A and B are shown apart, each in its own frame.
Chain A
Amino acid sequence: MGANAAVLHDIRHGYGDVEVLHGIDLDLPAGQLVALLGPSGSGKTTLLAIAGGLLTPTAGVVQIKESPLYVNGKVNRKAASDTAYVLQASALIGFLTVMDNLLVRDITAGRRTTDADRERAEELLEAVDLKAKAHRYPGQLSGGERQRAAVAAALYTRAPVILADEPTAALDRERGRAVMSLLAAHAHERGAAVLVVTHDERALDLADRVVRIEDGKLN
């Protein structure tokens, strides 16, 4: 087991007077895929949002590679840049081609894309069997293809912490396992910490660790 790439300590979050996360502690070791399993409304997506800097918790500490993700209630952009989301298939940017959905991560990070970046993007698309469709728009892909494109987009960032939001949703068993295999391989081969939020138990055998959340508490 590698060092922890991300640490969540005593995370609490509420909406108004209602607390939905009740002091969660979760370590994400480098080189491991952790599956976070739970029913709808259990707080798993809220926890994922907090882990990536999209939602400031009411209380608690998030550390990404030993740097605090939230400082004085504000997101530490440097730490946040070490995380990347695998968003659901519907969250690809519709006006960008599949290739540009990968390269846009450089643009948003203020980097100029190079030929080497394009080659790496092509390699990733080849790995998810989408190289031939690199210049198509998301609307021209099937649901499974869009999900694989979303995975490739997150992996393109080389972020040490990958946060996946229901990456197997709406995929059949075979496609779902393929996506989970890809994420697991990324964790094992690249040493990234991967947290997968899911309620799909069909590919849990590919996870290094399974954590269950219910009513805002880890079991």
Chain B
Amino acid sequence: MRFLAWREVRHAPVRFGLIAGLVALTAFLVFVLTGLTVGLGAADVSGLQRLPVDGVVYAKGADGDLSRSSLPTSDKALIEGVDGVTDVQPLGFTMASLTAGQRSVPVALLATDNAESGVVLDNQARDKGLSPGDEVRAQPGNVPLKITGFADLGSIQHAAVASLPLKDWQRLRDAAGVSAYMVSTKDDETLAAIAKALPDTEPLTKAAAIDAVPGYQAETGTIGMIRTFLYAGAALLIGVVFWILTLQKEGPLAVLRATGASRRLLVGAYVTQVLATALTGVLLGAAAGVAMGAVMPSNVFVLPPGEAAAAGALLLVVALVGAAASVRRLFTVDPLLSLGRTA
């Protein structure tokens, strides 16, 4: 079957090149959107993903929005008293700006009890002209803070995480409470027990807390929808192209059937062609997508090898699904056509 598949491609390189080009363009868009989904998603929630907790306890009505959540410090002891809770850490959160002279860097202030003194910034803030030892002021509040270092802390709502001690955050907020509590639990049912014991709270699993970050669902959902349509479009496009190609070679297929070619051989050659063409297109699209990613900001475009491989594999499956429509024609091609007639 490779004999037939390859001979036809060799005879019509421009035709198959154009098909591979179409697949490559589609694959390029898929890879770029995949990179954006991962990158923008990480920019939205990676700061929360890195927290070593099982759940987050918010104030009732906050709907998982840390900015809208405020709980008293006295709740810590009450949560610790719930069966199944193994650890409770208070969390302070504010979207803020760090200013130093004319420079202003948006940050997500994330305050915990065990944070280092001063403020530790995510590595991406290095590019903003800030250095360890710099004195900055947190706005609003105009509270002076000293940068003590950089670490891989991630982002929340597209702002670099800035880690600081809870007491500094409370000073900045001029309030004694906390935003929420990070909890470690034996199981998810413990979260329900917390909600029951503290009716003014809203405990969420870590995954639910991430999904609840404002804008995250809308952002990833929109790009996800575009990707879905792109996959569907790719299936349709590849399906139509191979359908036309199959129609065009009905004569040669009939001759092959008349010379004894089995349907299995014809289908095998066809699938080989589809896979080879689609794989070439996907590899070209991947190369272009990676090149595009190299010139895009690293906090916007992230294409992990696993995600890229999954997107590529899905495109190959989509190509086969699209091309499957023509398989029936291969099965039904009438060898009598080789005698220049149907009967």
Contact = CB atoms under 8 A, between A and B. Distances in A.
Nearest to B252: A93
19 contacts: A45-B341, A49-B336, A84-B259, A85-B338, A87-B255, A87-B338, A88-B339, A91-B255, A91-B258, A93-B252, A93-B256, A95-B12, A95-B252, A100-B7, A104-B4, A104-B256, A105-B260, A108-B262, A165-B340
Given A55-B343, A93-B252, A104 B259 contact: yes
A107 interface: yes
B325 interface: no
Tell me the interface secondary structure of chain A in the complex. mixed
Interface string B240-275: 000000000101100110111110010000000000
Interface in A122-180: 137, 165
A54 B336 contact: yes
A73 interface: no
B312 interface: no
B254 to A, nearest CB: 8
A109 B255 CA distance: 14
A187 interface: no
A48 interface: yes
The residue in A80, A90, A91, A110 that gathers the most chain B C-beta atoms within 10 A of its C-beta is A91
Given A87-B255, A105-B260, 15 more contacts: A55-B336, A81-B260, A85-B258, A85-B259, A87-B339, A90-B251, A91-B338, A92-B255, A94-B252, A95-B8, A96-B7, A100-B7, A104-B3, A105-B259, A108-B261
Contacts of B7: 95-96, 100
Interface of A: 15, 45-46, 48-49, 52, 54-55, 77, 80-81, 84-85, 87-88, 90-96, 100, 104-105, 107-110, 137, 165
A100 B259 CA distance: 13
A123 B338 CA distance: 26
A183 to B, nearest CB: 17
Given A95-B7, A95-B12, A107-B3, A88 B340 contact: yes
Q: Would you call the interface of chain B mostly helix, strand, loop, or mixed?
A: helix
Contacts of B259: 84-85, 104-105, 108
Interface residues on B, range: 20 to 34
B335 A54 contact: yes
Contacts of A137: 11
B340 A95 contact: no
Closest 5 CB pairs of A and B: A108-B261, A95-B11, A95-B8, A93-B252, A108-B260
A105 B265 CA distance: 12
B278 to A, nearest CB: 20
A190 B113 CA distance: 97
Contacts of B265: 107-108, 110
Given A54-B335, A95-B7, A95-B252, A87 B258 contact: yes
Interface string B1-32: 00110011001100000000000000000000
A77 B335 CA distance: 14
A22 to B, nearest CB: 16
Of residues A54, A85, A105, which shows the largest number of chain B Cβ atoms within 10 Å of its Cβ? Answer: A54
A81 B260 CA distance: 7
A151 B239 CA distance: 37
B332 to A, nearest CB: 14
A85 B337 CA distance: 13
A95 B269 CA distance: 13
Nearest to B269: A107
B4 A91 contact: no
A48 B343 CA distance: 12
Q: Which one of A84, A100, A105, A108 has the greatest number of beta carbons of chain B within 10 Å?
A: A108
B260 A80 contact: yes
A107 B4 contact: yes
B260 to A, nearest CB: 5
A55 B265 CA distance: 21
Contacts of A105: 259-260
A165 B338 CA distance: 10
Nearest to A94: B252
A54 B259 CA distance: 10
Contacts of B12: 95
Contacts of B252: 93-95
Contacts of B8: 95
